[in-house]
Structure 1
């Protein structure tokens, strides 16, 4: 669940810094800190993703599994309507509904309340594997993304300080995914639905925000070393 929300931000990258545009106007720099914060959704994003999970965990002991799933989906839908009323993009607002519905579908098919968290558990595992592999092949994922956002033409892997900061940022993301998987899988095996709901909240937005700090740092260092240098050289 939270891994899915980590990936689906609905964020449109801002203009890329670099040489002047064809119309002669300089490109505006990418505010990566604001971009990442917008993608995470801020404190309100934590509320949007936590409330349906909390509602499910609270409802399961007192009503049928299907009723608890219905309650979670209803709350997710109400939050989506509220987000659209606030002017958020349709797909961004509906992302939480799709995630809760998918989690509820798995739980309904297996008849287990714990399986409501199964997609999130294995999404965390997959995310950890992908980011770890990107480190092993010397193409840390944050660096690949940074380069793509900035036009895809910067020699970031040949610049050792830039490669190092992306190694560290990608490692931070890998640690977040691994931590989520280990904690939730342990609680899943222990058959603790309440524990899974708590872990979903604690290891969701807070850990994502910590990893985002590392990503913002890596993006800023890369931009300072490569993009601004390239721009100054082009102007000379």
Structure 2
């Protein structure tokens, strides 16, 4: 059999190139899917908008107008999430959280108190990650594995277990750093910095979740143990 034009090496390079292209395409699809699980770009912007509106308006016009801007933006963000067919519970929860934060800020009479209710979230995550590690059930495995289509016995798959263990350790460090920075800026009475940290923390969590999702999918595929991913209502 005669060699094709360009030689067999050209064929090998072409095949490898196509394989690499397909692999990159699969990774991109998986990353997009993972980001959509946590709201996607539009969802992240909608979640951050009320906080940004509150802090920006407070700096420009005071606390009273900031509450008006917060209310209008929170209602608009809720409408956007509902129009995107996200979970109604999650959309309404965002509205409730905004109302709770506004109530605390109004009672305290200062903008930084707006961030008191959400200040309890980082220590809860720190505790949850620690408990899951001690129990031998890394929290990121419990959260990501059903969505990534990993096997139900992922704790018996060494590579997958290691992936979720490392991911949970990273998440623990991120949550601990988030808590320390928030407390520092709260004590310094820096609402703008608190808003930036809160928005940045949400984005960091989304990216960390997406990376874990993609890596877990690839590990499970190499092991040949992938299954159909769970369907989350509203996604």
Same fold, TM-score > 0.5, yes or no: yes
Deviation at 1:108, TM superposition (A): 2.1
Cα distance 1:94–1:33, how it changes in 2: closer, same or farther (>3 A)? same
> Where does residue 44 of structure 1 map in the other structure?
42
Contact kept? 1:107, 1:115, Cα under 8 Å: yes
Does residue 1:72 correspond to 2:70, yes or no?
A: yes
Cα distance 1:78–1:133, how it changes in 2: closer, same or farther (>3 A)? same
Deviation at 1:141, TM superposition (A): 1.1
> Where does residue 192 of structure 1 map in the other structure?
190
Deviation at 1:33, TM superposition (A): 4.0
Higher helix fraction: Structure 1 or Structure 2? 2
Contact kept? 1:121, 1:180, Cα under 8 Å: no
Of 147, 167, 170, the match for 2:168: 170
Deviation at 1:142, TM superposition (A): 2.1
Deviation at 1:66, TM superposition (A): 4.3
1:1-236 matches, cutoff 5 A? 33-146=31-144, 154-222=152-220, 224-225=222-223, 227-228=225-226
Cα distance 1:89–1:162, how it changes in 2: closer, same or farther (>3 A)? closer
Q: Which runs of 5+ in 1 are unaligned?
A: 1-30, 230-236
Larger radius of gyration: 2
Deviation at 1:219, TM superposition (A): 4.5
Deviation at 1:104, TM superposition (A): 1.2
Measured in 2, the distance between the counterparts of 1:152 and 1:83 equals 28
Deviation at 1:34, TM superposition (A): 4.6
Q: Which runs of 5+ in 2 are unaligned?
A: 1-28, 228-235
Contact kept? 2:49, 2:73, Cα under 8 Å: yes
Deviations 1:141-183 (A, max 9, x none): 1223456568997332233222111101112222222222111
TM (normalized to structure 1)? Answer: 0.71
Question: What is the alpha-carbon root mean square deviation over aligned residues?
Answer: 2.8
Measured in 2, the distance between the counterparts of 1:160 and 1:201 equals 35
Cα distance 1:68–1:81, how it changes in 2: closer, same or farther (>3 A)? same
Deviations 1:87-113 (A, max 9, x none): 444334333222211211222233231
Measured in 2, the distance between the counterparts of 1:221 and 1:144 equals 16
Corresponding residue pairs, total? 199
TM (normalized to structure 2)? Answer: 0.71
Contact kept? 1:103, 1:116, Cα under 8 Å: yes
Cα distance 1:34–1:224, how it changes in 2: closer, same or farther (>3 A)? farther
Cα distance 1:160–1:202, how it changes in 2: closer, same or farther (>3 A)? same
Contact kept? 2:150, 2:217, Cα under 8 Å: no
Deviations 1:55-85 (A, max 9, x none): 1112223445344223212111012223334
